[in-house]
Chains A and B, each alone.
Chain A
Amino acid sequence: MKRYLFIVSRPPYGSSFAAEQLEAALVAAALDGDVAILLRDDGVWGLQHHQSAEAIQQPTLTKTLSGLPTYEIERLFVCARSLESRGIEPDQTLGFEAIGYAEQQALISSSDVVIGGQR
């Protein structure tokens, strides 16, 4: 069993990238186990309160994020600096822990594989 880290750097809407990446994370958790997720850069918009993507005929990404623990994806992190620079107060109910660069570095080096590492 490998330790997977999925880094989501793209915004939740505007492209299907983040949603497709989370699908891959769910499959990894189902098949091979230990999955962590780190939201950073524009990926942190996923934690914004009061999202209703019905307005743009898209699934609301928050629903996928809130369902992650059901799939045994419980190591959930968000880049503190990315939140701060965008002025986002994250929805705490989603259970993402805000971490700094040093902790992100440790998270990356403790993972066997990083998926979606680039922006």
Chain B
Amino acid sequence: MIYALAVHGAPYSSNAAEHALGFADALLARGHQIERVFFFHEGVYQGLNGTVPPQTRYNVNLAQRWQSLRSGGTELAVCIASGIKRGVVDENEQERYDLPSHTLSNMFELVGLGQLISAIAAADRYVEFPA
């Protein structure tokens, strides 16, 4: 089956990312496809290029895990409307708003809300990971 996923929580505060990543790994292991992972609301902070994982017993590195999902061909799409007002910007938006730096990790893309709807429209299932 084809799945569309959405992540609504920020890294290391909500567990939305851990849950979404675990679900995504399980889907791919079972031979399903992921149309797109869409980061919405506070989920856009997952796209930051400068997160430092807290040192815990389990040393979960979300950026590395998103990277390995991306390397496997899954599209990671950050909502541009939710993103730019929170300071999650790529080079284009940095230039457009004359900002001191870009903050979006290069494994993510800034896209419009239409990409959430088109992913859902193309998928058999939509699963959301709340904040």
Seen from chain A, the residues whose Cβ lies within 8 Å of a Cβ on chain B are 2, 4, 16-17, 20, 23-24, 27-28, 31-32, 113-119
Does A20 contact B81, Cβ atoms closer than 8 Å? Answer: yes
- Residue on B with the closest CB to A26? B113
Main secondary structure on B side of the interface with A: helix
Does A2 contact B113, Cβ atoms closer than 8 Å? Answer: no
| Chain B residues whose C-beta falls within 8 Å of the C-beta of A119 in the assembled complex | 130
Given A20-B40, A20-B82, A113-B120 in contact, is the A27-B113 Cβ separation under 8 Å?
yes
Seen from chain B, the residues whose Cβ lies within 8 Å of a Cβ on chain A are 40-41, 81-82, 112-114, 116-118, 120-121, 126, 128, 130
| Chain A residues whose C-beta falls within 8 Å of the C-beta of B130 in the assembled complex | 118-119
| Chain A residues whose C-beta falls within 8 Å of the C-beta of B82 in the assembled complex | 20
Min CB distance, A68 to chain B, in Å? Answer: 16
Does A2 contact B120, Cβ atoms closer than 8 Å? Answer: yes
Does A17 contact B117, Cβ atoms closer than 8 Å? Answer: no
| Chain B residues whose C-beta falls within 8 Å of the C-beta of A117 in the assembled complex | 128
Min CB distance, A112 to chain B, in Å? Answer: 9
Does A27 contact B116, Cβ atoms closer than 8 Å? Answer: yes
Query: How many angstroms from the CA of A113 to the CA of B119 in the assembled complex?
Result: 12
